[in-house]
Structure 1
Amino acid sequence: MRENKYDDPVFFDKYSQMRRSQLGLEGAGEWEAFRQLLPDFAGKRVLDLGCGYGWHSRYAVENGAKSVVGVDLSQRMLEVAKEKTQSAQVDYLCCAIEDIDFPAESFDSIISSLAFHYVADFETLAKNLYRLLKPQGDLVFTVEHPVFTAQGRQDWYYNDQGERLHFPVDHYYDEGKRTTTFLSEQVIKYHRTLTTYINTLLDSGFVINQLVEPLPPESMMAIAGMQDELRRPMMLIVSASKRA
């Protein structure tokens, strides 16, 4: 069974209090870098994987997308997404990312924000996404950076005064399941190296357009703890395309 932590009422309530949950795209530190890599949505059919509250789905429609399918495993997430979405051009589907099944070449663009590190089998997913895209279609996604996921604990080492000393990177080449603490709850994620992310896409037929390790924007630097985000990469953004 796919893990669906976001339908746990305690976890979901904590998630709903996060800055990015309340402010949407503008509350996400990686948004500006992600936005710059997104394709021109005008007239496109878009698939949004791990759509959550539907922020990116609505953004695509607001920027000319012909239609968007937002996919998420969490019913609670989709309930909020539907409440926030006014456009009939957006449809939401409750489904695991690994289980999506649409006809070949159904979409011009596929986007995903911070979801693929919950997927155990990235190779099978990448091949399916390639199948679903039209020739020259775009895939743009964010994941937690392999430096961030490697050790598993995803927390700093502290001194006796509680000051952050350094961020541990260990077991980097030992790919697979990690149990970490997120919002004070145990969450399962999957670590894979940067090489695996990129070579899996290449082996599936994709062309890599750009990689970005986003920095927090200057406008967020006054937020407590944000300066520490300059000390190690937390996220990775990948832009790829299907061959013509």
Structure 2
Amino acid sequence: MKQKIIDAYARLSLDYEKNVDTESGFNAFYERPAMLEQLPENMTGLTALDAGCAAGWYTEQLLNRGASVTAIDLNAEMIAATQRRVGENAAVLVHDLNTPLPFPDESFHHIVSSLTLHYIEDLSLPFREFQRILKPGGQLLFSVHHPFMEFTLFQRPDYFTHEWLLDVWNKKEAGRVEMAIFRRPLQEIVNRTTQFFTLERLIEPQPVPEFLEKLPDSAKSYERLMTHPHFLIIRASKPQ
């Protein structure tokens, strides 16, 4: 499945670079505002890892808040897009979160992982590494697909099953793209998180009003997101 994900995001890289920031309500006006609320506005003097950086939007936001940022992604095309966005202002490299991270112990104050961990089958692998490279008291902030959304949208017969799903995305630049996603119940996400970190907040976001203002043709999606969870955000910390 990893190669399918790499190939899919290679095709999607132009969409993420050109369109997602303004035309994807699910990203721009739903997940991102809720994630940013959980980060300090002033991150001067802090180190941050963008784990699964895609085209570098979060990398740029972390830089704008004053952090010293490192960004990693599995896909080389996404890394190139991030480099075009931030230049030499961040350290940017290709890396697979299924393997040990190339950073010393206690390197980062913050780790941000946006809509990435649902592409990984065994969460204990990245979480163990995140715990290792976070400083004591450091924060892990991540978003994933909400298990309820996957269970209902894909009409699965058993909520508690752990399984790979195939979804089809239709994008302006890439056209039809088949994406592999790993599904697991909510208790698995929470229990894996608390195995390594202290859970601080569990957030089921709702879209901000700009969603409807900027994308009036997406009123049906806006109304659904106001009443049905689609993404899940977790903020956790490494014990002091």
TM-score with structure 2 setting the length: 0.84
Residue number in structure 2 paired with 1:200? 192
2:180 aligned with 1:188:
yes
Residue number in structure 2 paired with 1:150? 151
Q: How far apart are 1:112 and its partner, in Å?
A: 0.8
Unmatched 5+ residue regions in structure 1? 156-167
Residue number in structure 2 paired with 1:93? 93
In structure 1, how many angstroms separate the alpha carbons of the residues matched to 2:9 and 2:227? 33
> Measured at CA, do residues 84 and 8 of structure 1 come closer, stay the same or move farther in structure 2, by a change above 3 Å?
closer
> Measured at CA, do residues 50 and 210 of structure 1 come closer, stay the same or move farther in structure 2, by a change above 3 Å?
same
Residue number in structure 2 paired with 1:41? 43
Q: Which has the higher helix share?
A: 2
Matched residues, percent identical? 26
In structure 2, how many angstroms separate the alpha carbons of the residues matched to 1:24 and 1:83? 23
Please tell me the residue identity of whatever aligns with 2:163. G
In structure 2, how many angstroms separate the alpha carbons of the residues matched to 1:141 and 1:214? 13
Matches within 5 A, 1:1-244: 2-3=2-3, 4-9=6-11, 11-13=12-14, 18-20=19-21, 27-39=28-40, 40-65=42-67, 67-86=68-87, 88-99=88-99, 100-150=101-151, 154=153, 168=155, 170-183=157-170, 184-204=176-196, 206-221=197-212, 222-224=216-218, 225=220, 226-244=222-240
Q: 1:178 touches 1:191 (CA, 8 Å); kept in 2? A: yes
In structure 2, how many angstroms separate the alpha carbons of the residues matched to 1:26 and 1:8? 19
In structure 2, how many angstroms separate the alpha carbons of the residues matched to 1:191 and 1:25? 19
Q: 1:2 touches 1:96 (CA, 8 Å); kept in 2? A: no
Please tell me the residue identity of whatever aligns with 2:198. V
Q: 2:29 touches 2:211 (CA, 8 Å); kept in 1? A: no
Alignment partner of 2:125: what SS? helix
Q: How far apart are 1:19 and its partner, in Å?
A: 3.8
Q: How far apart are 1:93 and its partner, in Å?
A: 0.7
Q: How far apart are 1:170 and its partner, in Å?
A: 4.0
TM-score with structure 1 setting the length: 0.83
> Measured at CA, do residues 137 and 193 of structure 1 come closer, stay the same or move farther in structure 2, by a change above 3 Å?
same
In structure 2, how many angstroms separate the alpha carbons of the residues matched to 1:79 and 1:146? 31
Unmatched 5+ residue regions in structure 2? 171-175
Deviations 1:138-193 (A, max 9, x none): 00011111112235xx46xxxxxxxxxxxx46421001322222233221111111
Residue number in structure 2 paired with 1:164? none
In structure 1, how many angstroms separate the alpha carbons of the residues matched to 2:138 and 2:160? 31
In structure 2, how many angstroms separate the alpha carbons of the residues matched to 1:53 and 1:13? 9
Q: How far apart are 1:20 and its partner, in Å?
A: 3.1
> Measured at CA, do residues 124 and 144 of structure 1 come closer, stay the same or move farther in structure 2, by a change above 3 Å?
same
In structure 1, how many angstroms separate the alpha carbons of the residues matched to 2:107 and 2:26? 26
Q: How far apart are 1:81 and its partner, in Å?
A: 1.2
Please tell me the residue identity of whatever aligns with 1:94. V
Deviations 1:178-216 (A, max 9, x none): 222223322111111111111111112x11111111111
Q: CA RMSD in A?
A: 2.4
Q: 1:148 touches 1:169 (CA, 8 Å); kept in 2? A: no
In structure 1, how many angstroms separate the alpha carbons of the residues matched to 2:54 and 2:181? 17
Q: 1:140 touches 1:240 (CA, 8 Å); kept in 2? A: yes
In structure 1, how many angstroms separate the alpha carbons of the residues matched to 2:105 and 2:163? 29
